[in-house]
Copies of this chain bind each other. A is one copy, B any other.
Amino acid sequence: MVKTPHLKVMPLGGMNEIGKNMTAYQYENDIIVVDAGLAFPDDDMLGIDIVIPDITFLKKNQDKIRGLVYTHGHEDHIGATPYVLKQLSDLQLYGSRLTMGLIENKLKEHKGLGKHKKNVVKAGDVVQLGAFEVEFIHVSHSIPDAFSLAIKTPVGTVIQTGDFKIDFTPIDGLMTDLPRFAQLGSEGVLALFADSTNVERPGFTMSERTVGETFEEIFHHSEGRIIVASFSSNVHRVQQIINSAMANGRKVAFAGRSMINVSTVSLELGYLNVDDDTLIDLKDIDRYPDNEITIITTGSQGEPMSGLSRMATNEHRQVEIRQGDLVVLSSSPIPGNEKSVTRIINLLYEKGANVIYNELADVHTSGHACEGELKLIHALVKPKFFVPFHGEYNHLRRHAQMAEEMGIPNENIFIMRTGDTLEFSRIHAKFGKPVPSGNVMIDGLGVGDVGNVVLRDRKHLAEDGLMIVVVAIRKDTGEMINAPDIISRGFVYVRESEELMNGARDTITATLNKSIAQNVRDWTGLKSSIRDALRSFLYEKTRRSPMILPVIIEV
């Protein structure tokens, strides 16, 4: 039997989960990779800074990788880049000017990654990467210069939408390239991999232009300082805030590390335009009257260390929120951040500021296509096979249902998970052998050195603290040298728990005495006896189970 070559598509992240987007396409000896994103840690990943995809598969197949292609410059699509570049050599990177600018900026903090070649592409460009011909198609999203990809392979064309929406009146005048989707559709598309984030929302997303009109209205009627918190990468949003400021005779100052970083890159590359005399330094804001001040900052998700949070808690060096300020949260809470956002709104109100947020006015719109837009793309592309992408299971499932309602046979729709392999011939598609995948956790400089055991210990310590028992034992006689030393942290206020601590010491001493009487020399066994006795004692007295660490020193 002759084995026909086929296309393999392997999501290494971002499928049936949110974040760390990365997909590998393989045809025989050629591999291309789309995106290299990070995810933010789940609540149970204590102390973890960020999460990146497991790239074991790519490391094993390094010699086959023809390119790393980016759809756009959001962290969940570019954030793993430094870690990926460190583990792979001589990659060719392809992305839009803004995407590559943000990646360059990110790589500044990391050394020795210069060997990789960075290529700037623009909408309409086609690059040949081994067996793959990759075309970049302009789409609207909540960051400028975003692409869908049309990947021509020997078995047919695959379209991966990336994150996108359709804005009929975009700020930069560049609409999602619907004619190109239509053209590819009429030429025949093997498979569509499409953004599912907002599939549960009916209709179409509100235009970014409407948000601009709201800002114009707000600026026109305000007399105090205006402080707007938004996502630093939403450059069009930032531009519209700047436009409203300029139209109303206000200066603009940026605050918050990532807002300053991304704005600087956007200004340099010409994505952001502002009059020379409008932009001022944050430290100079007090030189102007309140009605001439606009501050654009981070913190729209209530993040504790962000610009806005620090302003609201008196921890910001240059700005403190005061009576008369107007604060606009130009965002909506990302799931999981609802409480932090409410907290910051309450803090701002308590400081005497007025606050405008998503529920009160049209100060935000999503970057992801709603159901109507998705249907439009499906109608234009008319793919043979469909894979819902970017979303949790409920989104993927809903998107699959939608595709079926639009006429794709159920057996041609595949709900995948990260690590799955989907194999395509010209006429068939089926699941193949999975590839290694998972969460690589980054904590400080450590990449993957924190795993489940460490996390389990952190959780245990977080909930009940610990108790350390130190006993010195004479090697010759097996007798204790002095009373056992007890140290506890995160368990109880030791000073107010004298009785408990005495009881603990008595429990340990009794266990030790028994062991000495029996002339035990098995320290491992003795440690576990101490642990068991102490655990029972503490649980009975407190209904808590601190981590118990017995240490025996033989002298």
The answer to whether A544 has its CB under 8 Å from any CB of chain B is yes
Assess the A490–B553 pair: CB atoms within 8 A: no
Q: For the complex, give the distance between the alpha carbons of A1 and B462 in Å.
A: 57
Q: For the complex, give the distance between the alpha carbons of A453 and B465 in Å.
A: 12
Assess the A342–B394 pair: CB atoms within 8 A: yes
Q: How far is the CB of A443 from chain B (nearest CB, A)?
A: 6
Q: How far is the CB of A537 from chain B (nearest CB, A)?
A: 13
Assess the A551–B487 pair: CB atoms within 8 A: yes
Q: How far is the CB of A154 from chain B (nearest CB, A)?
A: 34
The answer to whether A541 has its CB under 8 Å from any CB of chain B is yes
Q: Find chain B residues with CB under 8 A from A444 CB.
A: 542-544
| Known A338-B335, A449-B497, A553-B553; contact A544-B443, beta-carbon cutoff 8 A | yes
The answer to whether A223 has its CB under 8 Å from any CB of chain B is no
In this complex, which of A339, A392, A462, A485 has the most chain B Cβ atoms within 10 angstroms of its Cβ?
A: A462
Considering only residues 278-313 of chain A, those with a C-beta below 8 Å from chain B are none
The answer to whether A476 has its CB under 8 Å from any CB of chain B is no
Among B451, B482, B489, contact of A549 (Cβ-Cβ < 8 Å): B489
The answer to whether A517 has its CB under 8 Å from any CB of chain B is no
Considering only residues 503-555 of chain A, those with a C-beta below 8 Å from chain B are 541-544, 547, 549, 551, 553, 555
Assess the B458–A465 pair: CB atoms within 8 A: yes
In this complex, which of A397, A461, A466 has the most chain B Cβ atoms within 10 angstroms of its Cβ?
A: A461
Assess the A462–B459 pair: CB atoms within 8 A: yes
Majority secondary structure, A binding face:
mixed
Q: For the complex, give the distance between the alpha carbons of A482 and B200 in Å.
A: 65
Assess the A491–B555 pair: CB atoms within 8 A: no
Chain A interfacial residues counted at CB < 8 A: 62
Q: Find chain B residues with CB under 8 A from A133 CB.
A: none
Q: How far is the CB of A333 from chain B (nearest CB, A)?
A: 9
The answer to whether A496 has its CB under 8 Å from any CB of chain B is yes
Q: Find chain B residues with CB under 8 A from A553 CB.
A: 470, 472, 481-482, 485, 553
Assess the A464–B339 pair: CB atoms within 8 A: no
The answer to whether A463 has its CB under 8 Å from any CB of chain B is yes
Among B457, B464, B491, contact of A489 (Cβ-Cβ < 8 Å): B457
Q: For the complex, give the distance between the alpha carbons of A457 and B491 in Å.
A: 9
Among B43, B336, B393, B446, contact of A492 (Cβ-Cβ < 8 Å): B446
Q: Find chain B residues with CB under 8 A from A464 CB.
A: 47
Q: For the complex, give the distance between the alpha carbons of A276 and B95 in Å.
A: 69
Q: Find chain B residues with CB under 8 A from A541 CB.
A: 445
The answer to whether A450 has its CB under 8 Å from any CB of chain B is yes
Q: For the complex, give the distance between the alpha carbons of A544 and B47 in Å.
A: 9
Q: What are 5 A-B contacts defined by CB distance under 8 Å?
A: A46-B462, A47-B463, A454-B492, A472-B553, A555-B555
Q: A47-B465, A449-B496 are in contact. List 14 more A-B contacts (CB 8 A).
A: A47-B490, A342-B394, A443-B542, A445-B541, A445-B543, A446-B544, A449-B492, A451-B493, A453-B493, A454-B491, A458-B462, A487-B551, A489-B547, A489-B549
Instruction: Return the 5 tightest CB-CB contacts between A and B, nearest first.
Output: A444-B543, A462-B462, A461-B461, A47-B463, A457-B490
